[in-house]
Structure 1
Amino acid sequence: MKREIAFGVAAMPRKPAVALLLWSVPEALPASLSGLAVAHAVDSGFLADRPAVGLGWLALLLVAAGLGAIGSRQVYRLLGGLVEPFRDLLVRKVVGGALGHAVRGKADDGAIARLTHQVEIVRDTYAGLIVVLRGFLVTVIGVVIGMLSVDPVIVALLLPPFLLGLGAFLATLGMAADRFRRSVRADEQLAVTAGAVLAGTRDIAATGAEEHAAAMTKGPIEAQADAERAIATVAAVRSLCLALGGWVPLVVLLVAGPWLVSRGLTAGAVMGGLTYVLIGLQPVLRNLMTAVGGSGLRYAVTLGRILDAAELPSEPEPRAHAGQGDELAVRGLTFAYGPHAEPVLRDLDLVVPPGDHLAIVGPSGIGKSTLAGLLCGLLRPGEGAVLLGGVPVADLPADQLARGRTLIPQEAYVFAGGVWDNLTYLAPDADPERVAHAITAVGADALVARIGGVGATLVPAELSAGERQQVALVRAYLSPAPVVVLDEATCHLDPVAERRAEEAFAERGGTLIVIAHRVSSALRARRVLVLDGTGAAVGDHRTLQETSPLYRDLLGHWNPDRRLEEV
């Protein structure tokens, strides 16, 4: 809890915080003057047969209350300047943590619950805690000053039981925090389970799996209900603490009243002490226990969950893989989109040695792009592993992974800005000669000339899909990554332009993997991987023609000799 409190204090902007403290001074006036005004109104006014004096003291109390109301109004006006920057910081924490885990291949199923629900809980309770804690301090300080002004003996009688009640309440916070943690964890688990069930509502209705879906959510619902019931028992303990700190001082003062009067304490002073208890100490202690014992614990526990989830695991130390170089290996790879979905890839084994040129072919929807995402570390295998240089790509830091492979998807990404920046995005240190060579190699000369050269500004909306692919191809060609994966990255180019680009990458050096949308890409490759949905076959063109019926079907009536001459 200390960490959460420190985080909240550190996130508080200084100027609004100072202004809030200054406006708390007039708000302390009613608490400080209430008992004193009552004591003087009774002793110097009504008991002395001077009602005007008594009314004057009460009028002074009304003036103090008015000044306190002005202070309270300014406090609430300043509250937004403290709370909203804190909320923005939490949102950045949640989003940054989720993205950081995603980059490392770790699913963050609770991120949505934290962003849409837990951040708002923390924001609202943070504002409430600021108001309550500030009000508690202001009131207690004002009451103590007022009691000292009336008679120090009142402080000696009333303050010890008040502090005992407060201390007993603080001692119960550990137990209450554990129960709140259980509640937050149950809430996250219920959100994940319910989200999965709701996402499959149509499938559940179509297959008649309502009972199975209900069984999936039953456990999380019961766990959350148990956690909420455990939180409710904390209220009973809180009531005992309030009785000790809020009501015992009142009883002590009433019991000690005759003795105090016998020592010379006036009736007005006794009434002033009662006023300080009933109007000052008791309400402020009740508010504190309600806020800190409920919203405060929810704040600390929920904020703790947010901060814990935002912490990224330490980057793994680079592991030696001497002799393996840039080899890409797939071992027992199985992947499915969801725990109950049929695997898209099953028990796939593949070795792509450095410098290989591999084409991946298969019917549409068979899993070619999924395999590309797995090879590049964008997806995490359900079973098995993808190794780059002997290291699982899912364990590689983002910067090291970017240096090891480059992926160009079918929908090539270009951004508004300079042509040079778009081309050298993956190789910012490339010199003009190297960039010019890359442009010529992949056949983008005409495009760059039409745009206005490498110094011109590129507007993505003014480029066709094929032109965007050419920009992305130059970018990948300049990349220092030894492994390049083209996921139908030339599908919007004509066959001649496609052949030029693929041959440029083959001559560039390194490993080239092409997700083929034309059979001509397979004919140019050194090896071909054929995916059929149940297994995989790998070999050269002639071998697969003899051994793979699916490959022969994909070739169809294609005439390799004539087509290769054309393209």
Structure 2
Amino acid sequence: MLVRLGAWSVLEAGQTFLVGYALARALDAGFLAGNVRTGLGWLGAAGLAVCAGAYGTGRVYGVVAELVEPARDRLVTAVVGRGVREADPGALSGLTQQVELARDTLAGVVMVSRSFLFTAAGALIGLFSLAPLLLTVVLPPLLAGVALFAVTLRPLARRQEAFLTADETLARELGVLCPGLRDVTACGAEERVAADLGRRIDAELATARALARWSLTRTAALAVGGELPVVLLLVTTPWLLRHGVSAGALVGALAYVTQSLLPALQNLVHGLGTSGSRLTVALRRLTTPTPRPLPRTQTPPTADHDQPQPARARRTTAAPALALASLSFAYGPACEPVLDGLDLTLPTGAHLAVVGPSGVGKSTLTGLIAGLITPDRGTIRVHGNPVPAPQATVLIPQEAYVHGGTLAENLALFRPDPVPEAELLAAADAVGLTPLLRALGGPGARVEPTALSAGERQLIALTRAYLSTAPLALLDEATCHLDPAAEARAERAFAGRPGGTLLVVAHRLGSARRAGRILVMDGARTACATHDELLRTSALYQQLTAGRPASPTTLTR
């Protein structure tokens, strides 16, 4: 493959040699000697060489593809293998971005390096053929420019990687911060978060400026290696003429420098300077596994986990359904805690409503109980087992998920075995899904998620959770798109599940009044009691309810 690449490159470089040599011969032996036919003949030879060179360039692209694609395949195999063996979280980015970046930049590096090598060889051979003295003028600055560029390659690669690292760090910080902006505002941590984020931005700006400063050396390399030979040829023209260099040879030398060497050097500097550093960074990242967070410690499954259970079994144990002890969590070491030392115990069959202003941490609490977030301190146990306990907890968020299968497949998503149709229809009737089920055409009807309203998707998600075997249901404003009557029906269904426990982030006052106890999240003044007790003791609850009886009034601001 390399031999074929070299052979086609020689054909491509033939035009480089003839462009200057033919021009010199056309002047010296043709037009300046009064022989127009000879001059035109040499120019025609140069034109044919250009056509042959174009054909060689086309063949070069094919060989480069044969060289680059197997390298891409090996990188893909390595990234996929590492992702499967080590659960590397960087495998997806490696496949979708870094492998393609490596493939493209490798092709670019091969093309510009090969082009400069053969173009420079053709031009230097042409200069020597015209007059060896021309090499003493052109070659030293050319070598100096290439050497200056080569010295900057490693620092450029280091600064390119530093810039990418700073950019990824800033993106990761924003990815964590943006979903928690309400919590930041609720905790009054705007200035502290802004200061931390400002330092990340300043760090990326510093790396970008360092990269730009080193990029200036490419301009210096071009000036020394490509522009200075032109100036030297013009300055030394009288001396060269006195030493036997012909006028045609001087014109040919200028053609070699301006039409061949300078463009080839520009392609090398810009192509290798950018693509080479990117290729170095991409290959290093592809061959170095992404650090992964340590797995959370989990207790071995209990005996009843290993035994098959009836489809609608609810695990009931002597332990409470939910026990929180000294639970604390903050979205970063410099942030105010969203939860600080929270203690809470729910017996099996309890119905708890969680209320409070937006951003106070209600969704954070459900995420902690479901095991989606790891607490900073404290313990969480569901029926005596530490979280995450996916077989014991089901979380229904505000934005309901519905996939494009049948309605029965959507509803049975949390069940390991097919759900009997009678049980499915009974669950739909209990939650309030029956009218939609009939409108869609029954359990076997295909579901188009985009054709459903937000409330219809919530009814499907609620029925799916109702059919699950998890005894603890967490409704995080999962009924906010339903009318009050539909919301009440769904919550009564969950509260009445045999052995089931319900925790609902309340969206309306009526939802809170239906609960046996209410958790009012209010920072250090968080309280848990009945509706009547909270009206006497909690200023925030009094403000949220305004002392009114149950109504569709919303509780969140």
Instruction: State the match for 2:393 in structure 1.
Output: 405
In the superposition, the TM-score normalised over structure 1's length comes to: 0.59
Match of 1:55 among 27, 32, 40: 40
Match of 1:513 among 486, 497, 503: 503
Question: Where do 1:83-482 residues align within 5 Å?
Answer: 134-138=111-115, 140-144=117-121, 166=146, 169-184=149-164, 220-221=201-202, 224=205, 228=209, 231-232=212-213, 235-236=216-217, 239=220, 243=224, 276-277=256-257, 279-293=259-273, 295-296=274-275, 299-300=278-279, 311=290, 313=292, 316=295, 319-320=298-299, 329=324, 331-335=326-330, 345-351=339-345, 355=348, 357-363=350-356, 365=358, 367-377=361-371, 383-384=376-377, 387=380, 405-410=393-398, 412-415=400-403, 417-427=405-415, 429-433=417-421, 434-436=423-425, 438-440=427-429, 442=431, 444-445=433-434, 447-458=436-447, 467-482=456-471
> Secondary structure at 2:158's aligned position in 1?
helix
Task: Using the TM superposition, give the Cα deviation of residue 488 of structure 1 relative to its aligned residue in structure 2, in angstroms.
Answer: 3.9
Work out whether residues 415 and 460 of structure 1, in 8 Å CA contact, stay in contact via their aligned partners in 2: yes
> Secondary structure at 1:453's aligned position in 2?
coil
Instruction: State the match for 1:497 in structure 2.
Output: 489
> Secondary structure at 1:502's aligned position in 2?
helix
Q: Percent identity?
A: 33
Cα separation, 1, equivalents of 2:109 and 2:231: 23
Cα separation, 1, equivalents of 2:291 and 2:60: 37
Work out whether residues 129 and 291 of structure 1, in 8 Å CA contact, stay in contact via their aligned partners in 2: no
Say how many residue pairs are matched: 474
Work out whether residues 168 and 241 of structure 1, in 8 Å CA contact, stay in contact via their aligned partners in 2: no
Cα separation, 2, equivalents of 1:270 and 1:325: 96
Task: Using the TM superposition, give the Cα deviation of residue 359 of structure 1 relative to its aligned residue in structure 2, in angstroms.
Answer: 0.4
Task: Using the TM superposition, give the Cα deviation of residue 404 of structure 1 relative to its aligned residue in structure 2, in angstroms.
Answer: 5.6
> Secondary structure at 2:298's aligned position in 1?
coil
In the superposition, the TM-score normalised over structure 2's length comes to: 0.60
Work out whether residues 351 and 515 of structure 2, in 8 Å CA contact, stay in contact via their aligned partners in 1: yes
Amino acid of the residue matched to residue 394 of structure 2? T
Work out whether residues 184 and 301 of structure 1, in 8 Å CA contact, stay in contact via their aligned partners in 2: no
Instruction: State the match for 1:31 in structure 2.
Output: 16
Change (3 A) 1:350 1:218: closer
Amino acid of the residue matched to residue 448 of structure 1? L
Cα separation, 1, equivalents of 2:400 and 2:378: 27
Change (3 A) 1:219 1:417: closer
Change (3 A) 1:521 1:147: closer
Amino acid of the residue matched to residue 525 of structure 2? G
Cα separation, 2, equivalents of 1:516 and 1:214: 34
Amino acid of the residue matched to residue 235 of structure 1? L
Amino acid of the residue matched to residue 515 of structure 1? V
Cα separation, 2, equivalents of 1:466 and 1:42: 85
RMSD: 6.3
Cα separation, 2, equivalents of 1:332 and 1:145: 75
Q: Any stretches of 5+ residues in structure 2 without a counterpart?
A: 62-88, 303-318, 551-557
Cα separation, 2, equivalents of 1:180 and 1:288: 18
Amino acid of the residue matched to residue 475 of structure 1? R
Can you list the C-alpha shifts for 1:412-453, whole angstroms capped at 9, x where unaligned? 444555211221233363233553454355454454345322
Task: Using the TM superposition, give the Cα deviation of residue 475 of structure 1 relative to its aligned residue in structure 2, in angstroms.
Answer: 0.6
Work out whether residues 413 and 468 of structure 1, in 8 Å CA contact, stay in contact via their aligned partners in 2: yes
Amino acid of the residue matched to residue 220 of structure 2? S
Task: Using the TM superposition, give the Cα deviation of residue 497 of structure 1 relative to its aligned residue in structure 2, in angstroms.
Answer: 2.2
> Secondary structure at 1:281's aligned position in 2?
helix
Task: Using the TM superposition, give the Cα deviation of residue 57 of structure 1 relative to its aligned residue in structure 2, in angstroms.
Answer: 0.8
> Secondary structure at 1:134's aligned position in 2?
helix
Instruction: State the match for 1:82 in structure 2.
Output: none
Cα separation, 1, equivalents of 2:265 and 2:257: 10
Amino acid of the residue matched to residue 137 of structure 1? R
